[in-house]
Structure 1
Amino acid sequence: MGTTSGPVPPAPGGAHHRPSAARGWRWVAAIAVLVSAGVHVLLYLDGYDTIDVVGPLFLLNAVAGLVLAVLLVVWHHWLPLVGGIGFGALTLLAFVLSTTVGFYGVSESFAGTNELVAAGAEIVAVVAATVALLRESLR
Protein backbone atom coordinates (compact mmCIF):
# COMPACT_ATOMS: atom_id res chain seq x y z
CA MET A 1 0.00 0.00 0.00
CA GLY A 2 1.56 3.25 -1.10
CA THR A 3 1.02 6.79 -0.08
CA THR A 4 -0.25 9.39 -2.45
CA SER A 5 1.63 12.55 -3.09
CA GLY A 6 -1.44 14.61 -4.03
CA PRO A 7 -2.58 17.69 -2.13
CA VAL A 8 -4.26 17.18 1.20
CA PRO A 9 -7.74 18.71 1.32
CA PRO A 10 -8.26 21.30 4.06
CA ALA A 11 -9.83 20.09 7.27
CA PRO A 12 -13.45 21.10 7.87
CA GLY A 13 -13.57 24.44 9.62
CA GLY A 14 -10.03 25.23 8.50
CA ALA A 15 -8.64 28.50 7.25
CA HIS A 16 -10.27 28.07 3.84
CA HIS A 17 -13.72 28.15 5.42
CA ARG A 18 -13.25 31.34 7.44
CA PRO A 19 -13.68 34.67 5.74
CA SER A 20 -10.58 36.79 6.11
CA ALA A 21 -10.69 40.15 7.85
CA ALA A 22 -9.81 41.81 4.54
CA ARG A 23 -12.86 40.17 2.94
CA GLY A 24 -15.03 41.61 5.70
CA TRP A 25 -13.61 45.06 5.06
CA ARG A 26 -14.34 44.59 1.33
CA TRP A 27 -17.98 43.93 2.20
CA VAL A 28 -18.12 47.01 4.42
CA ALA A 29 -16.66 49.11 1.59
CA ALA A 30 -19.10 47.61 -0.91
CA ILE A 31 -22.11 48.35 1.29
CA ALA A 32 -20.89 51.91 1.91
CA VAL A 33 -20.40 52.51 -1.83
CA LEU A 34 -23.85 51.07 -2.49
CA VAL A 35 -25.44 53.33 0.15
CA SER A 36 -23.81 56.40 -1.40
CA ALA A 37 -24.92 55.30 -4.87
CA GLY A 38 -28.43 54.73 -3.58
CA VAL A 39 -28.64 58.23 -2.13
CA HIS A 40 -27.46 59.66 -5.44
CA VAL A 41 -30.07 57.78 -7.47
CA LEU A 42 -32.80 58.88 -5.04
CA LEU A 43 -31.72 62.50 -5.35
CA TYR A 44 -31.51 62.15 -9.13
CA LEU A 45 -35.10 60.90 -9.22
CA ASP A 46 -36.15 63.61 -6.75
CA GLY A 47 -35.33 66.53 -9.04
CA TYR A 48 -31.61 66.48 -9.68
CA ASP A 49 -32.29 65.01 -13.11
CA THR A 50 -33.23 68.52 -14.27
CA ILE A 51 -29.90 70.10 -13.23
CA ASP A 52 -27.38 70.46 -16.05
CA VAL A 53 -24.08 68.63 -15.47
CA VAL A 54 -24.83 67.68 -11.85
CA GLY A 55 -27.92 65.62 -12.71
CA PRO A 56 -26.09 63.33 -15.15
CA LEU A 57 -23.17 63.12 -12.70
CA PHE A 58 -25.55 61.89 -9.99
CA LEU A 59 -26.84 59.18 -12.33
CA LEU A 60 -23.29 58.25 -13.34
CA ASN A 61 -22.32 58.10 -9.66
CA ALA A 62 -25.21 55.73 -8.94
CA VAL A 63 -24.37 53.37 -11.81
CA ALA A 64 -20.63 53.44 -11.07
CA GLY A 65 -21.31 52.80 -7.38
CA LEU A 66 -23.43 49.75 -8.18
CA VAL A 67 -20.78 48.31 -10.49
CA LEU A 68 -18.00 49.06 -8.02
CA ALA A 69 -19.90 47.49 -5.11
CA VAL A 70 -20.24 44.25 -7.09
CA LEU A 71 -16.58 44.32 -8.11
CA LEU A 72 -15.48 44.83 -4.52
CA VAL A 73 -16.98 41.50 -3.48
CA VAL A 74 -16.46 39.35 -6.58
CA TRP A 75 -13.08 40.45 -7.93
CA HIS A 76 -10.33 39.86 -5.39
CA HIS A 77 -7.87 42.29 -6.89
CA TRP A 78 -6.49 45.56 -5.58
CA LEU A 79 -8.14 47.64 -8.34
CA PRO A 80 -11.68 47.63 -6.89
CA LEU A 81 -10.23 48.66 -3.53
CA VAL A 82 -8.48 51.63 -5.11
CA GLY A 83 -11.75 52.33 -6.90
CA GLY A 84 -13.58 52.32 -3.56
CA ILE A 85 -11.10 54.79 -2.11
CA GLY A 86 -11.36 57.04 -5.16
CA PHE A 87 -15.15 56.78 -5.34
CA GLY A 88 -15.60 57.74 -1.71
CA ALA A 89 -12.98 60.48 -1.70
CA LEU A 90 -14.02 62.13 -4.97
CA THR A 91 -17.74 61.96 -4.21
CA LEU A 92 -17.10 63.46 -0.78
CA LEU A 93 -14.88 66.15 -2.33
CA ALA A 94 -17.64 67.09 -4.79
CA PHE A 95 -20.08 67.37 -1.89
CA VAL A 96 -17.70 69.53 0.15
CA LEU A 97 -17.18 71.77 -2.88
CA SER A 98 -20.95 72.11 -3.33
CA THR A 99 -21.32 73.16 0.32
CA THR A 100 -18.47 75.67 0.25
CA VAL A 101 -17.78 77.27 -3.13
CA GLY A 102 -20.42 75.59 -5.28
CA PHE A 103 -20.14 72.78 -7.78
CA TYR A 104 -21.24 73.45 -11.37
CA GLY A 105 -23.67 76.06 -10.11
CA VAL A 106 -25.12 73.93 -7.32
CA SER A 107 -24.76 75.08 -3.72
CA GLU A 108 -25.79 72.66 -1.00
CA SER A 109 -25.86 72.78 2.76
CA PHE A 110 -24.23 70.26 5.01
CA ALA A 111 -27.55 69.27 6.52
CA GLY A 112 -30.30 66.84 5.80
CA THR A 113 -30.61 63.09 6.04
CA ASN A 114 -29.57 62.31 2.47
CA GLU A 115 -26.49 64.50 2.71
CA LEU A 116 -25.36 63.09 6.05
CA VAL A 117 -26.01 59.47 5.04
CA ALA A 118 -24.08 59.88 1.79
CA ALA A 119 -21.17 61.71 3.42
CA GLY A 120 -20.97 59.10 6.19
CA ALA A 121 -21.09 56.26 3.66
CA GLU A 122 -18.33 57.86 1.60
CA ILE A 123 -16.08 58.20 4.64
CA VAL A 124 -16.75 54.56 5.53
CA ALA A 125 -16.00 53.51 1.93
CA VAL A 126 -12.62 55.25 2.01
CA VAL A 127 -11.67 53.81 5.40
CA ALA A 128 -12.90 50.26 4.73
CA ALA A 129 -11.33 50.02 1.27
CA THR A 130 -8.05 51.39 2.64
CA VAL A 131 -8.01 48.89 5.51
CA ALA A 132 -8.81 46.00 3.15
CA LEU A 133 -6.08 47.12 0.76
CA LEU A 134 -3.52 47.32 3.56
CA ARG A 135 -4.54 43.96 5.04
CA GLU A 136 -4.39 42.26 1.66
CA SER A 137 -1.00 43.76 0.86
CA LEU A 138 0.39 42.44 4.17
CA ARG A 139 -0.59 38.82 3.40
Structure 2
Amino acid sequence: MDSSQGAVPPRPQVATPSRPSFARAWRLVAAAAALVSAVVHVVLYVDGYDTIAVVGPLFLLNAVAGVVLAVLLAVWRHWLPLVGGIGFGGLTLLAFVLSTTVGFYGINETFAGTTQLLAAASEVVVVVASTAALLREYVR
Protein backbone atom coordinates (compact mmCIF):
# COMPACT_ATOMS: atom_id res chain seq x y z
CA MET A 1 0.00 0.00 0.00
CA ASP A 2 1.27 3.41 -0.95
CA SER A 3 1.74 5.67 2.06
CA SER A 4 0.24 8.65 0.25
CA GLN A 5 -3.17 6.95 -0.10
CA GLY A 6 -3.94 6.82 3.61
CA ALA A 7 -2.38 10.13 4.58
CA VAL A 8 -4.62 12.55 6.37
CA PRO A 9 -4.31 16.12 5.08
CA PRO A 10 -3.20 18.66 7.63
CA ARG A 11 -5.97 20.42 9.47
CA PRO A 12 -6.44 24.00 8.27
CA GLN A 13 -5.56 26.53 10.88
CA VAL A 14 -8.54 28.39 12.18
CA ALA A 15 -8.10 32.06 12.88
CA THR A 16 -8.78 32.71 16.52
CA PRO A 17 -9.05 36.04 18.19
CA SER A 18 -5.65 36.66 19.66
CA ARG A 19 -4.00 39.24 21.79
CA PRO A 20 -2.21 42.00 19.92
CA SER A 21 1.24 40.98 18.83
CA PHE A 22 4.27 42.43 20.54
CA ALA A 23 4.97 44.55 17.48
CA ARG A 24 1.42 45.92 17.55
CA ALA A 25 1.78 46.74 21.23
CA TRP A 26 5.07 48.57 20.57
CA ARG A 27 3.37 50.52 17.75
CA LEU A 28 0.61 51.61 20.11
CA VAL A 29 3.14 52.64 22.76
CA ALA A 30 5.01 54.68 20.14
CA ALA A 31 1.74 56.26 18.98
CA ALA A 32 0.76 57.22 22.52
CA ALA A 33 4.20 58.71 23.18
CA ALA A 34 4.08 60.72 19.93
CA LEU A 35 0.68 62.02 20.99
CA VAL A 36 2.03 63.04 24.42
CA SER A 37 4.88 64.90 22.73
CA ALA A 38 2.40 66.64 20.44
CA VAL A 39 0.20 67.72 23.36
CA VAL A 40 3.19 69.08 25.28
CA HIS A 41 4.28 71.09 22.25
CA VAL A 42 0.77 72.54 21.82
CA VAL A 43 0.67 73.51 25.49
CA LEU A 44 4.06 75.20 25.26
CA TYR A 45 3.05 76.92 22.01
CA VAL A 46 -0.08 78.36 23.63
CA ASP A 47 1.84 79.30 26.80
CA GLY A 48 4.11 81.73 24.99
CA TYR A 49 6.19 79.98 22.38
CA ASP A 50 3.83 81.29 19.70
CA THR A 51 5.56 84.67 19.95
CA ILE A 52 9.04 83.31 19.19
CA ALA A 53 9.93 83.83 15.52
CA VAL A 54 11.31 80.47 14.38
CA VAL A 55 10.74 78.20 17.35
CA GLY A 56 7.04 78.99 17.71
CA PRO A 57 6.06 77.70 14.26
CA LEU A 58 8.38 74.72 14.75
CA PHE A 59 6.52 73.83 17.96
CA LEU A 60 3.22 73.98 16.10
CA LEU A 61 4.63 71.91 13.24
CA ASN A 62 5.96 69.39 15.75
CA ALA A 63 2.53 69.11 17.35
CA VAL A 64 0.80 68.47 14.02
CA ALA A 65 3.48 65.96 13.01
CA GLY A 66 3.11 64.15 16.32
CA VAL A 67 -0.65 63.75 15.86
CA VAL A 68 -0.29 62.58 12.25
CA LEU A 69 2.47 60.17 13.24
CA ALA A 70 0.40 58.79 16.12
CA VAL A 71 -2.47 58.03 13.75
CA LEU A 72 -0.17 56.45 11.17
CA LEU A 73 1.55 54.30 13.78
CA ALA A 74 -1.80 53.05 15.04
CA VAL A 75 -3.52 52.32 11.73
CA TRP A 76 -0.95 51.76 8.97
CA ARG A 77 1.06 48.57 9.32
CA HIS A 78 4.03 49.60 7.24
CA TRP A 79 7.66 50.24 8.05
CA LEU A 80 7.46 53.93 7.09
CA PRO A 81 5.62 55.18 10.23
CA LEU A 82 8.12 53.28 12.37
CA VAL A 83 11.06 54.98 10.70
CA GLY A 84 9.11 58.23 11.02
CA GLY A 85 8.76 57.59 14.76
CA ILE A 86 12.49 57.09 15.12
CA GLY A 87 13.18 60.28 13.16
CA PHE A 88 10.50 62.32 14.91
CA GLY A 89 11.57 61.34 18.40
CA GLY A 90 15.27 61.57 17.66
CA LEU A 91 15.18 64.95 15.95
CA THR A 92 12.82 66.47 18.49
CA LEU A 93 15.03 65.25 21.30
CA LEU A 94 18.10 66.57 19.50
CA ALA A 95 16.51 70.01 19.17
CA PHE A 96 15.71 69.98 22.89
CA VAL A 97 19.25 68.95 23.83
CA LEU A 98 20.64 71.69 21.60
CA SER A 99 18.36 74.24 23.24
CA THR A 100 19.59 73.18 26.70
CA THR A 101 23.28 73.19 25.79
CA VAL A 102 24.34 75.57 23.02
CA GLY A 103 21.03 77.20 22.20
CA PHE A 104 18.59 76.63 19.36
CA TYR A 105 17.58 79.63 17.24
CA GLY A 106 18.33 81.90 20.15
CA ILE A 107 16.44 79.84 22.74
CA ASN A 108 18.32 78.57 25.77
CA GLU A 109 16.11 76.14 27.66
CA THR A 110 16.73 74.35 30.93
CA PHE A 111 16.52 70.61 31.39
CA ALA A 112 14.02 70.92 34.22
CA GLY A 113 10.30 71.31 34.62
CA THR A 114 7.36 69.02 34.10
CA THR A 115 6.70 69.81 30.45
CA GLN A 116 10.36 69.54 29.48
CA LEU A 117 10.85 66.20 31.22
CA LEU A 118 7.54 64.84 29.94
CA ALA A 119 8.37 65.80 26.37
CA ALA A 120 11.90 64.38 26.58
CA ALA A 121 10.66 61.12 28.10
CA SER A 122 7.93 60.74 25.49
CA GLU A 123 10.41 61.30 22.67
CA VAL A 124 12.75 58.66 24.07
CA VAL A 125 9.78 56.29 24.27
CA VAL A 126 8.81 57.02 20.65
CA VAL A 127 12.32 56.12 19.50
CA VAL A 128 12.59 52.97 21.62
CA ALA A 129 9.08 51.69 20.85
CA SER A 130 9.35 52.42 17.11
CA THR A 131 12.71 50.67 16.97
CA ALA A 132 11.37 47.66 18.88
CA ALA A 133 8.35 47.37 16.59
CA LEU A 134 10.51 47.76 13.49
CA LEU A 135 12.89 45.04 14.66
CA ARG A 136 10.02 42.78 15.69
CA GLU A 137 8.15 43.14 12.40
CA TYR A 138 10.92 43.25 9.82
CA VAL A 139 13.99 41.50 11.22
CA ARG A 140 13.69 37.75 11.20
TM-score using structure 1 length: 0.89
1:19: how far off? 1.0
Asked if 1:10 corresponds to 2:11, the answer is no
What is the CA distance between 1:11 and its match in structure 2? 4.4
1:125 aligns to 2:129 (yes or no): no
| Rounded Cα–Cα distance in structure 2 between residues aligned with 1:87 and 1:132 | 15
Question: How far, CA to CA, are the matches of 1:44 and 1:10 in structure 2?
Answer: 51
CA distance in 1, matches of 2:126, 2:108: 24
Q: CA deviation at 1:9?
A: 6.8
Q: Percent identity?
A: 74
Runs of 4+ in structure 1 displaced over 6 angstroms?
none
Q: CA deviation at 1:18?
A: 2.5
Q: Say which one has the larger Rg.
A: 2
Q: What stretches of structure 1 of length at least 5 have no aligned partner?
A: 1-7
Pairing 1:1-139 to 2, within 5 Å after superposition: 10-13=14-17, 17-138=18-139
Q: Which runs of 5+ in 2 are unaligned?
A: 1-11
Figure out how many residues of one structure are paired with residues of the other and give that number. 129
Give the TM-score normalised by structure 2: 0.89
What secondary structure is seen at the aligned counterpart in 1 of 2:77?
A: coil
Deviation by residue 1:96-125 (Cα, 9 ceiling, x = unmatched): 000001000110000000000000000011
